[in-house]
Amino acid sequence: MAGQEQLKSCVIDKNLCSGCGMCVGLCPYIKTFRDRVKVIHPCGQKDGTCYSTCPKTFWDIDGMDDFVFQGPRSDQALGVYKGIFFSRAAGEKAGGAQYGGTATSLMAFALDSGMVEGAVLAGGSALDPRPVYAGTALEVMAGAGSKYTAVPTLAAFNQAVGINGGRLGLVGRPCQVEAVRKMQQGCHSEAHGNRERAVGLTIGLFCFWSLTPEFYDFLAEKTKGEVITRVDIPVEGLTVTTPAGANTWPVDQIRKYIKDSCSACIDCTSEWADISVGSTESDPQYNTLVVRTVAGQRLVERAAEKGVIEIKPYPEERLPILRKAALNKKMRVIQGEGGKMPGYLKLSDQYRAEIIRQWEVLQK
């Protein structure tokens, strides 16, 4: 058994906390400011949901595949998927939406069509992101746009479960999808109710790393106090747009702001979501859309039929590039420091060997 004390010593004190927000709201003694999660008072519980649902505590990756997809994967790079596409919002996309605006359009459609009764996502601005509960499609649209710091979105999920009572949608980072999936597997106490039934849809975002709040100071210094209208981090580097124009700085200038927990994350494409959405790194007008579950497939098909999104085949020449990027991240994690993988991950020997085999094939 493990609870708040172990969460603090094994995750928070070791800078492994990803700022997902799942523990916030489950325990009155765990609070957050921006992405900083802190235990403000011991609760005395020996066994706690805060520990069992944390994406940085022990979990079985093979077991997660079995739970979400009812079987093992064949693609160690991208996980299980039914289809992979280029996609974008049809017609005018939400103001502030990044690239094709797919994630925003799909979650807004899920609300309008009754698939979910509310949604939690990262809202606010690039300089002041915050967890948001959206009860309407317009409120989903208002939260459009990438946030590059770790927004504890699941704090809004916990609050919404107590207020809404219906099925919720989540737009979140891989670690947030993982926390929700752990919760759905029953990794929570009866005192927190039937939370596994509260999840109607998960839209996972591609995420190779998140930045600490010190990144905001960097932005303020570089822009000299100008109003920032857009932040993006494409291949060429950090791009910040103000009324005076756009400026780009090399990614190396912001590496020191990457959260320590991101170096222990094996999932950059939200492998256990219903749908995963990311950039294409080739066409800024589109997103990469990975359809993983039956629920995700049903939503995408209905949205395409209704003219909410446009989809087209994923270019064959791009797939090895995406797979290599995902496998490179996995290899960095499973090799770890001194060849040792982070202790909270459990991979079977077969699973690990297949990651290495597929990675070696792509190096040729």
Residue 364 has pLDDT above 80, yes or no: no
**CA-to-CA dists, residue 255 to 218, 237, 252, 311, 320, angstroms:** 12, 11, 5, 34, 25
Interval 263-319: pLDDT, tens: 889 999 999 999 999 999 899 999 999 999 999 999 999 999 999 999 999 999 999
C-alpha to C-alpha distance for 78 and 37, rounded to whole angstroms: 30
CA 249 to chain centre: 25
Q: Are 126 and 147 in contact (CB under 8 A)?
A: yes
Confidence of residue 187 (pLDDT cuts 50, 70, 90): low
Share the mean pLDDT of the chain: 89
What's the confidence (pLDDT) of residue 58?
A: 84
Helix axes 294-305, 102-112, angle to 10 degrees: 90
Q: Are 298 and 113 in contact (CB under 8 A)?
A: no
| Of 43, 25, 233, 50, the residue nearest 126 (C-alpha) | 233
Range of 120-134, 156-170, 182-196, 304-318 with top mean pLDDT: 304-318
Q: Are 178 and 48 in contact (CB under 8 A)?
A: no
| Helices vs strands, H then E, count in the chain | 11, 15
Determine the residue type at 45.
Q
Helix axes 174-184, 154-163, angle to 10 degrees: 40
Residue 340 has pLDDT above 90, yes or no: no
The residue that leads in pLDDT, 230 or 21, is 21
The DSSP H or E segment spanning 31 is: strand 30-33
CA 60 to chain centre: 19
Helices (H), the chain: 4-7, 49-52, 61-69, 102-112, 137-142, 154-163, 174-184, 214-223, 294-305, 319-335, 349-363
Determine the residue type at 287.
N
Q: Which residue has 């009866």 as its token pair?
A: 190
Residue 164 has pLDDT above 80, yes or no: no
Average pLDDT over residues 309-332: 95
Determine the residue type at 116.
V
Residue 209 has pLDDT above 60, yes or no: yes
Sign of CA dihedral 52, 354, 76, 151: positive
C-alpha to C-alpha distance for 134 and 219, rounded to whole angstroms: 28
Average pLDDT over residues 111-137: 91
| Of 81, 54, 52, 83, the residue nearest 69 (C-alpha) | 81
Residue 171 has pLDDT above 70, yes or no: yes
Average pLDDT over residues 154-158: 91
Residue 95 has pLDDT above 70, yes or no: no
| Of 307, 345, 326, 237, the residue nearest 88 (C-alpha) | 307
Residue 135 has pLDDT above 80, yes or no: yes
Tokens linked to 204: 């996972």
